[in-house]
Amino acid sequence: MSAVSEIDNNEIKQSFTILFVDDEENILRSLRRLFRQEDYQILAALSGKEGLELLATQDIDLIISDMRMPEMDGAEFLEKAATQWPDTIRILLTGFSDIKSTVAAINQGKILRYIQKPWEDNDIKFTVAQALKQKQLERERDALQALTRRQNAELQNLNSNLELKVEQRTAQLQQTMLKLEKTHESLKKSYIASVQVFSSLMEMREGILAGHSRKVANHSRKIALKMGLKKEECQTIMIAGLLHDIGKIGLSDSILKVPYSELNGEDLRRFKKHSVEGQAALMALEPLEGATVLIRHHHEQYDGLGYPDGLKGKEIPIGARILAVANDYEALLSGSLVSNSQSKEQAIEFLRRNRSKRYDSKVVDVFLDLIGFRGRVQGDAKCVQISSHMLRPGMVVAKDTFSKSGILLLVEGHVITKSIIDRIENYERSLSEKLSVYIYIDGEC
């Protein structure tokens, strides 16, 4: 497949064309002199009729028209221009006595601004510069959106051999990210749409990632609203949910297809970097600054045993605490956190067991209320010590389990799977050692 075409910067940054319309030649000459040093193409017309003829044959970005002209005044001319060429910016020159006509021109011609005669040079130059700057931002936005659509179409064809193509795809996404960084000022009012595009690109990876970010974002937004957070905070949390796994773009399929509980060595070390890399990938985008902090910390744990910074309790931003619950719930259901996909009831039980440990208990309770699973147990669960041969898949480890020599074998909060049971049996046979494991049940330990 061919590489995604780059945005044509020459096309985006082409010179602007300005049309001056006035029945007085000395006014037109003054305007030409005023803008002589600017990088604009200047056209002039001595009447509204002549101006319309130029508009029909030229691509014109901005019109500056006098109000009082014979045959066709500025209001009528600009109204016709607005009807036939709505994307052209319109500015009116008018005298103080023409205020009634000026109001009509504003309503009929949909002008950006009117400037009174005699004008102040710096004022009219500043007005034109600001109007054309907005025009330039619109060009950059349109070019970026076109590029994203092309990339989206190409990525849909990548339905096989993903591991072989991940490097190419990552490079393409990095190119898009760089272009987004260069034009982010033009996207301040529509950056959520861009976030959704990138979230969709991430979720084109096969397997357990499909739909994950959207579900996490939806859960997180509802939790934030239920907790009474401000509208802006809820939006930031939702965006962080959509992009929380963006740091995984560079991970190979071989790592992504392994549940977190089974990663070890270099793969585990590489995986744990994704939240920091996700923050770094987005740090240049000013509107996403708040979301990047939540992306960095969404794997912190309430007891301080998370990563990357080991934050504890309320040191962790509230948005990150919310993401942690929503993310782990969906990861439990999909099987990306532990070896086997958990049922809804098992996932809920896991969250309950880890209140005030792995998670903020208030966030867990709000989430369980939202999904109709607010449990009967509101405090810490109780536990019992059992022999290893009594272990069954779905049980949750209540305390860290060590060998006689002090080696950590099982971590508190870990969900027992058949694979873990098999490994424990092999361990016991190899070392002739019997293990006892604390497992959660109801009540106090």
Number of CB atoms found within 10 A of residue 293's CB = 17
- Tell me how many domains the chain contains: 3
Residue 270 to residue 248: CA distance in whole angstroms? 10
Question: Is the separation of the CB atoms in 139 and 186 below 8 Å?
Answer: no
Q: Which residue has the higher pLDDT, 115 or 311?
A: 311
User: What is residue 380's predicted lDDT score, i.e. its pLDDT?
Assistant: 45
Bridge partner residues of 91 (DSSP): 64, 113
Mean pLDDT of 405-411: 70
Reported as a pLDDT band with limits 50, 70 and 90, residue 408 is: low
**Percent of the chain residues past pLDDT 90, beyond the cut:** 32
SS3 state of residue 439: strand
Q: Are residues 289 and 363 in the same domain?
A: yes
Q: What is the DSSP letter of 203?
A: T
Q: Which residue has the higher pLDDT, 62 or 188?
A: 62
Q: Are strands 40-45 and 16-21 parallel, antiparallel or unpaired?
A: parallel
CATH assignment at residue 44: 3.40.50.2300
pLDDT, one tens digit per residue, over 320-370 is: 999 999 999 999 988 888 878 888 888 898 999 999 999 999 999 999 988
Least confident of 200-204, 340-344, 412-416: 200-204
User: What is residue 112's predicted lDDT score, i.e. its pLDDT?
Assistant: 81
Q: Are residues 405 and 321 in the same domain?
A: no
Mean pLDDT of 299-320: 95
User: What is residue 60's predicted lDDT score, i.e. its pLDDT?
Assistant: 93
Q: Are residues 336 and 418 in the same domain?
A: no
Q: Which residue has the higher pLDDT, 229 or 398?
A: 229
In this model, does residue 432 exceed pLDDT 80?
Answer: yes
Least confident of 2-6, 38-42, 295-299, 401-405: 2-6
Q: Are residues 243 and 218 in the same domain?
A: yes
User: What is residue 161's predicted lDDT score, i.e. its pLDDT?
Assistant: 58
Residue 180 lies in a domain: no
pLDDT mean across residues, the chain:
82
Residue 139 lies in a domain: no
User: What is residue 396's predicted lDDT score, i.e. its pLDDT?
Assistant: 84
Q: 29 phi and psi, to 5 degrees?
A: -65, -40
Residue 147 lies in a domain: no
User: What is residue 240's predicted lDDT score, i.e. its pLDDT?
Assistant: 92
Token code pair at residue 170? 């990552």
Is the full-model pTM beyond 0.85? no
Residue 182 lies in a domain: no
User: What is residue 444's predicted lDDT score, i.e. its pLDDT?
Assistant: 37
Q: Are residues 237 and 302 in the same domain?
A: yes
Last residue of a domain, one of 313, 348, 370: 370
Token code pair at residue 30? 């003054």
Q: Which residues contact 109 (CB under 8 A, 6 or more apart)?
A: 74, 75, 77, 78, 79, 81, 82, 90, 92
Reported as a pLDDT band with limits 50, 70 and 90, residue 12 is: very low
Q: Which residues contact 338 (CB under 8 A, 6 or more apart)?
A: 259, 260, 261, 332, 414, 415, 417
Q: Which residue has the higher pLDDT, 243 or 402?
A: 243
Least confident of 81-90, 269-278, 394-403: 394-403
Q: Are residues 236 and 361 in the same domain?
A: yes
Residue 185 lies in a domain: no
Q: What is the DSSP string of 338-373?
A: SSSPPPHHHHHHHHHHTBTTTB-HHHHHHHHHHTT-
User: What is residue 208's predicted lDDT score, i.e. its pLDDT?
Assistant: 47
CATH assignment at residue 209: 1.10.3210.10
User: What is residue 43's predicted lDDT score, i.e. its pLDDT?
Assistant: 94
Last residue of a domain, one of 370, 395, 420: 370
Reported as a pLDDT band with limits 50, 70 and 90, residue 193 is: low
Residue 210 lies in a domain: yes
Q: Are residues 409 and 327 in the same domain?
A: no
User: What is residue 377's predicted lDDT score, i.e. its pLDDT?
Assistant: 40
In this model, does residue 64 exceed pLDDT 90?
Answer: yes
Residue 109 to residue 90: CA distance in whole angstroms? 8
Q: Which residue has the higher pLDDT, 142 or 291?
A: 291
Q: Are strands 436-441 and 382-387 parallel, antiparallel or unpaired?
A: antiparallel
State the sign of the Cα–Cα–Cα–Cα dihedral 381, 382, 388, 393. negative
Mean pLDDT of 230-239: 92
List alpha helices for 156-228, DSSP H. 162-182, 191-202, 212-226
SS3 state of residue 401: strand
In this model, does residue 233 exceed pLDDT 80?
Answer: yes
In this model, does residue 297 exceed pLDDT 50?
Answer: yes
Q: Are residues 247 and 393 in the same domain?
A: no
Residue 2 lies in a domain: no
Reported as a pLDDT band with limits 50, 70 and 90, residue 296 is: very high
Q: Are residues 338 and 217 in the same domain?
A: yes
Last residue of a domain, one of 112, 133, 154: 133
Q: What is the domain extent for residue 391? A: 382-441
Q: Are residues 25 and 88 in the same domain?
A: yes
Residue 145 lies in a domain: no
Q: Which residue has the higher pLDDT, 100 or 94?
A: 94
Q: Which residue has the higher pLDDT, 281 or 321?
A: 321
CATH assignment at residue 399: 3.90.105
